[in-house]
Each structure stands twice: as structure tokens, then as C-alpha cells.
Chain A
């Protein structure tokens, strides 16, 4: 088993991993405390419309067509992105692990049915599916997270199933069966801990994808109407693309940096958890 200290040291071998972690930490702090440190309402008109960045102190990063503060939008948008990214991933991992574990452990008919189900969810074009779900159930942070989870779990299920199929046949699991250990106990204490590493790596990528999907949704006007988000800012900014392109550029860079930092962290984690591949 991997010792914690050496894991941290191995993680720090990756320069990009450390950079990613620093950026990510910054975004997390911004999401958690930003609205307290910078208490400007992202929906309120606080400056003259269409002010370029670094000109007006009322809106340090400029203002949009309605005079709303871009910096405030940025700070508040971090919240939505992270909340949806993390909660959608958590839900998707829960679904994926359950389905993967069941089909990998019991095999046979159970496996056939669940894998066919997985295939169904992998076939439906996922972004369109999210659009339909959110449109039908009306957009909120909860429905958006749930919809993203519904389309994102299949890869986790496949991964966990594969792990279960191999681990199930290992000697240590066979011996637990022979000894008469109960099935849930075998699953939770013997097999599941051994699949955690690949699931962690996959879920870091899923957080990134979820953030991208959420951005796409709110760009199309399907975001939570009560919360300012980066995608929505780009959607608003698009109307004045020709004259005030900073309105599109700034939130886009925020999304890109956040997603990039998560990808960096995911890669570094992967290398740290699978040293033979590194």
C-alpha cells in the first residue's frame, strides 16, 4: 500500500501538479470567501455600462452592458462552477460505483442488464440529454448537478466493474468468500478500497467536464437563474462581442484556468498513485 508521505512527495514531483493545486486552491478560496471579501452584488448596476477593465475603480475588471461588475461576477461564478462540479461528480461517482460494483461482483444476468443500461446512457448524446433534463425539470443548482450526474456515471461504472471483475478472482477475496464473510462486507472492506485510486483519478477529470457542461448550459441560458455563473457572463457578453470582447474573454479565461488546474491535479494524482506509469 502507498504511504501517505511518499504519496505527497511523489505528487510534488510534478511541477504542473503543484501549479494546478495552487490555482485550484485560489479558486476554492475565491468561491468560499470571495463574496465576503468583495461584497458587490453581481446583479446590481454599480458602474457605467461597458467600462473597460482597469479604468473605473467601481468595476476594476470592467462592467457589462447593464453596468454590472465583472469582478463580482467572477467571484460569485466560482461558487456555482465548483458546487456543481463537485456535487455532480460526487453523485455520478456514487451511481457509477454502485452499478459497477454490482455488475462486477455478481456478474451473470445482473451484469448483462446493468451493462446494457450503461450502454444506453453512453449512447444518448450527453449534452443534449442534460439540456432536455434541465429544461423539463426547470434549471436550479440541484437539477443541473443531478442532470450532469445522470450523464456522467457510465465511465465510472465501467471502470469499477473492470476492477471488480479482476479483484473478485484474487486469492484474498476468494478466501474471504470461503471463510464465510458477508457479501457487503467483502465489497466494502476488501474490494472497494482497492479501486479507490483509479476512481479518484477519473473523478478529477469528471469535475473538469462537469464545470465545462455547466458553463455550456448557462451560456445557453439554462443556468440557475438565481446565481451568477461564468457561462452566463459569456452569454451576456456575447451580445457586445464586437465592441467589448473583454466581457467574453475574462470569464472564459476563468473557466479555462480552473479546468486546466483540475486536469493538472488529475494528471499529477495519476502519476503519484500509479508510480509504475510515471
Chain B
């Protein structure tokens, strides 16, 4: 178990270094001087800032030294300075990270639970009306651009019914006691979470359905029936727990895509997380900040994947043998 963990952590480190190299490669492939690219239009006139960037990247030295320099900086999480925000990039990102994590956590939980519930409902009677309805809805959600779904929800729930806030994280001048704040943030969280969850709920529903149908044909399910378990107990004690395993793997694979999805969703709802920060960086053409966000998000994906690996090996005892 310990060896398995160490090995996975080692692999993750290799991947991280390679990601940094890819970032470096992009900067060097871009048209023009690296510093011009990084500063974009935001800092082109600011000589001091350009000098600072030149130092950060060691631009007057050979490429391999530059790469070393770049990696060393990243290893210390030194991502440079954002001229526009007048803050170190790392601090900016860490400030915005909690909001994004909250959004991702709530929407992924929603997607996961919803996917399991709908997947089970569909797989319990394959070919029925219920099954085809769920499958069709899943395909529809699968085909809907996230940002558009968000806008439609705003039209419905904020503009037409006026029951939920259309954007932001907190009401300006809202309650400042803890309970009031939690409720307030919770209300703001509902629409963005649903929006971001829709697509992934659809994927989980489809996978859960397929996985359940697979597991139903397994020998141990026949054993469960032969033990005298009712169909319901067979389903939730034996079929469902085994069917969830592939969903957990997919969870790790999709994490990067969820982070990407949260960019548009945050922009639509003005949610003050990494996504809106990336959008601002884009508008200010602050490429250094943008690349910092990309790198930190990659780290996040790697860390969460390690956690998921751990969780998986705990849930599926067969793993230790294969490792």
C-alpha cells in the first residue's frame, strides 16, 4: 500500500514537471519575445515590469538555462507578479481558489449523486419508458453548452420567477452573521452548481446505467439472488457498490474538464473564483497570470487524482494485488 502510494506520487511528480515543460514550450513557440507574450498589452509600456519578467525567466541566457530557471521558479511556486492586480500571482490564485473549490465540490457532489440515482433508475428497468426518458434527458444535457444552460437558468429563476440571485457570491449589504452568510452564499451557489453539474450528471448517469447492466450479469449477483436477497437488497448491497467504482475513476479523469467548465460558469454567474480571474487575465492580456492559473489548476488536478487513487484502492480491495 505504502509502496503503491510512493510510486503514484512519483509518477505525479513526473507529470507535473512535464506540464511545466509544456508551458515553457508554449511560451517559446509563441510569436515574439517571451516577455512580450507574457506582459501582453497590459504591461507593454512598463519598463520596470518588463525587466522584472526578464529576470523571472532569465531571458538573456541559453534556452536550457531558461528552462531550469523556469522550473526552479515553479518549484518554489514563484509564479511572478500581476501588474494589473498589483499582487503576486500565487497569492491571487490562492485567494480565488476557495470559491472555485466550493463550486466544484457542490456541483460534482450533485452530479455524482444525481448520476447514481438516475443511472440506477434507468438500469433497474432497461428499455422501459423511464429508461428511455432518462437516457434522452442525459443526452440532451450532454449536448448543452454549459454557459448557455446557465443563462437559461438565470432567465427562468432570476428574471421570470425572481427566486434566486443571478450572480455573485454574496448579497451586497447582506447578513453578516455566520448563519445568514451561509444561507446567502448557499442561495448564490444553487444556480452555478446546477449549471456545472448538468453535463457531468449526464455522463455519470450514462456510465452508471451501463455499469449497472454490466454488473447485473456477474456471477456474484446470481449468488446474491440465490442467497434469498430481495431484488432491492441485491441492487443496493451488491450491484450498486460495484457499479460505482468506474464512476470514481471517471471522476478523476474528468476533473480537469470540470475546472475548465467552471471558467465559463463562473463568468456567467460572476462567481469570484479562478474562472473569473482567468477571464479577467484574458481581458487584460495578462498571460503570465493566465499561465499561472493553468499551472496551479494542473497541480490541483494531480492532487485530487492522488486522493481519488487512494479512495479507490480503499474501496476496491483488488487494487493492492495489481499494484
Q: Do chains A and B touch in the complex (CB under 8 A)?
A: yes
A residues with a Cβ closer than 8 A to B are 116-117, 119-133, 135-137, 208, 212, 215-216, 219-222, 231, 234, 238, 241-242, 245, 248-249, 252, 255-257, 259-260, 263-264, 267
Contact in complex: B264, A120 (CB < 8 Å): no
Contact in complex: A222, B147 (CB < 8 Å): no
B19, B143, B264, B291: the one contacting A219 at CB < 8 Å is: B264
A120, A129, A220: the one contacting B294 at CB < 8 Å is: A129
A225 CB to closest chain B CB (Å) equals 14
Contact in complex: A131, B282 (CB < 8 Å): yes
A146 CB to closest chain B CB (Å) equals 11
B157 CB to closest chain A CB (Å) equals 13
Chain A residues near B14: list those with CB within 8 A. 116
Contact in complex: A248, B285 (CB < 8 Å): no
B263 CB to closest chain A CB (Å) equals 6
B148 CB to closest chain A CB (Å) equals 4
**Chain B residue total in the interface (Cβ 8 A):** 51
A161 CB to closest chain B CB (Å) equals 16
Is B4 an interface position by the 8 A CB rule?
A: no
Is B159 an interface position by the 8 A CB rule?
A: yes
Contact in complex: A248, B151 (CB < 8 Å): yes
A187 CB to closest chain B CB (Å) equals 27
Compute the total of residue contacts between A and B using a CB distance below 8 Å: 143
Contact in complex: A126, B257 (CB < 8 Å): yes
Is B134 an interface position by the 8 A CB rule?
A: no
Chain B residues near A260: list those with CB within 8 A. 139-140, 143
B268 CB to closest chain A CB (Å) equals 8
Q: How far does the alpha carbon of A259 sit from the alpha carbon of B253 in the complex, in Å? A: 22
Q: How far does the alpha carbon of A263 sit from the alpha carbon of B15 in the complex, in Å? A: 32
Contact in complex: B290, A131 (CB < 8 Å): yes
B residues with a Cβ closer than 8 A to A are 11, 14-15, 18-19, 22, 26-27, 30-31, 37, 139-140, 142-148, 151-152, 154-155, 159, 253, 255-257, 259-261, 263-264, 267-268, 278-279, 282-283, 285, 287, 290-291, 293-294, 297-298, 301-302, 305
Chain A residues near B152: list those with CB within 8 A. 248-249, 252
Contact in complex: B151, A241 (CB < 8 Å): yes
Chain A residues near B302: list those with CB within 8 A. 123
Chain B residues near A132: list those with CB within 8 A. 26, 287, 290-291, 294
B254 CB to closest chain A CB (Å) equals 10
Chain A residues near B257: list those with CB within 8 A. 125-127
Contact in complex: A137, B260 (CB < 8 Å): no
Contact in complex: A128, B143 (CB < 8 Å): no
B143, B290, B297: the one contacting A135 at CB < 8 Å is: B290
9 A-B pairs with the lowest CB-CB distances in the bound complex, closest first: A127-B260, A252-B148, A259-B143, A125-B256, A260-B143, A125-B259, A120-B18, A136-B30, A125-B297
Q: How far does the alpha carbon of A242 sit from the alpha carbon of B257 in the complex, in Å? A: 30
A135, A252, A255, A264: the one contacting B151 at CB < 8 Å is: A252
Chain B residues near A231: list those with CB within 8 A. 145
Contact in complex: B264, A220 (CB < 8 Å): yes
Contact in complex: B143, A215 (CB < 8 Å): no
B126 CB to closest chain A CB (Å) equals 13
Contact in complex: A131, B263 (CB < 8 Å): yes
Name the CB-closest residue of B to A213: B260
Chain A residues near B278: list those with CB within 8 A. 128, 131
Task: Contacts A120-B22, A242-B159, A252-B151 known; list 4 others, CB within 8 Å.
Answer: A123-B305, A245-B155, A249-B155, A255-B144
Contact in complex: A124, B19 (CB < 8 Å): yes
Chain A residues near B298: list those with CB within 8 A. 123-125
Chain A residues near B18: list those with CB within 8 A. 116-117, 120
Chain A residues near B253: list those with CB within 8 A. 122
Name the CB-closest residue of B to A120: B18
Q: How far does the alpha carbon of A117 sit from the alpha carbon of B302 in the complex, in Å? A: 14
Q: How far does the alpha carbon of A136 sit from the alpha carbon of B294 in the complex, in Å? A: 13
